[in-house]
């Protein structure tokens, strides 16, 4: 294992129609992984990912297993292609499940069913139109937290993702989110823009979903990870299955502390960050958090070759 290497896995927002198509043309593991996921779900996930319709792919209950399968597929391609292994793994929100599968803590088929249900519970927890998320750009984290607290009388609203310096996503009831966006602009934010999602992830509105989800987690087998995984909720590492289950339930209504996660990894001596899955959102965030790091996306034959050349 390379002590200075971490693999990170993206969450919702990284999906796109046709993702991993080029990688699948060269590596049969990609379609084989999606076929395994399709069997677990009872419908053809690869067809949805490649052909759409896009609005169906973007439904939370479908997006989550699609991204899980994509991340696992890229990891399997990497594992087949090279003996280079990371000492660390982490994932952004849904990506934490991908990290746990790749670290050997969760069975892949179990995780596919689990995240599909996670998405369904999240979607049904808040009536359509009542919840919202927005990205606040250009303010320090503590200012965004304070603005959410100051506008709590308008409804539930809190920081949901601490993504990078100057980039915080807020979530909650639509009216309260809009009010905090306005206050953020007045406080000097470069932008405060509503995101095209209806589920207010990582806010208190997800507590009912978390209560139901924790019962599913209790029925899911969790093993001690073979690779150290850093968790979103507490930026900690854990081996005990009961602790991992509790953190996965808590993650639904707790903020994703991505900036802290990347800084923690840097402080452990990690210098190389490989984003395993579609897109390069985390690669961009990681470079903003730790500018001196080597950040490499892997999602097609070219990026795979670049990463292998850099790390082998």
Q: Catalytic residues, which ones?
A: 93, 202
Token pair listed for 308? 């292998």
Which of 47, 195, 201, 184 lies closest to 122 in space, CA to CA? 201
Q: Give me the phi and psi of 116, to 5 degrees please.
A: -65, -40
Token code pair at residue 240: 């005990």
Question: Sign of torsion, CA 140 144 145 150?
Answer: positive
Rounded to 10 degrees, the C-alpha dihedral 139/171/247/120 comes to -150
Crossing angle of the two packed helices 60-81 and 301-311, in degrees rounded to 10: 50
Q: How far apart are CA 207 and CA 204, in angstroms?
A: 5
Q: Which residue reads 């919840």 in tokens?
A: 131
Give CA–CA dist 269/6, Å, rounded.
10
């Amino acid at each position: 294992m390379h002590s200075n290497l971490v693999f990170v896995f993206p969450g919702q927002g990284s999906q796109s129609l046709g993702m991993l198509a080029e990688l699948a043309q060269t590596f049969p593991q990609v379609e084989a992984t999606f076929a395994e996921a399709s069997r677990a779900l009872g419908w053809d996930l690869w067809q949805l990912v490649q052909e759409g319709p896009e609005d169906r792919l973007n439904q939370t209950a479908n997006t989550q297993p699609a991204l899980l399968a994509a991340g696992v597929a890229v990891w399997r391609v990497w594992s087949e292609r090279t003996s280079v292994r990371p000492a660390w793994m982490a994932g952004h929100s849904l990506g934490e499940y991908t990290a746990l599968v790749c670290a050997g803590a969760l069975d892949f088929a179990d995780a596919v069913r689990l995240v599909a249900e996670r998405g369904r519970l999240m979607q049904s927890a808040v009536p359509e139109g009542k919840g919202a998320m927005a990205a606040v750009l250009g303010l320090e984290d503590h200012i965004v937290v304070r603005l959410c607290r100051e506008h709590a009388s308008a409804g539930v609203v809190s920081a949901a993702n601490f993504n990078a310096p100057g980039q915080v996503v807020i979530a909650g009831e639509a009216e309260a989110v809009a009010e905090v966006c306005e206050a953020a602009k007045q406080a000097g934010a470069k932008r405060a823009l509503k995101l095209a999602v209806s589920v207010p992830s990582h806010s208190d509105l997800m507590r009912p979903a978390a209560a139901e989800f924790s019962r599913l987690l209790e029925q899911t087998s969790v093993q001690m990870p073979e690779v150290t995984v850093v968790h979103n909720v507490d930026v900690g590492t854990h081996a005990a299955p009961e602790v991992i289950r509790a953190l996965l339930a808590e993650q639904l209504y707790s903020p994703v502390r991505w900036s802290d996660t990347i800084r923690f990894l840097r402080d452990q001596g990690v210098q190389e960050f490989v984003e395993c899955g579609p897109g390069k959102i985390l690669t961009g965030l990681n470079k903003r958090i730790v500018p001196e790091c080597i950040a490499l996306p892997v999602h097609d034959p070219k990026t795979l070759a670049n990463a292998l050349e850099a790390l082998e």
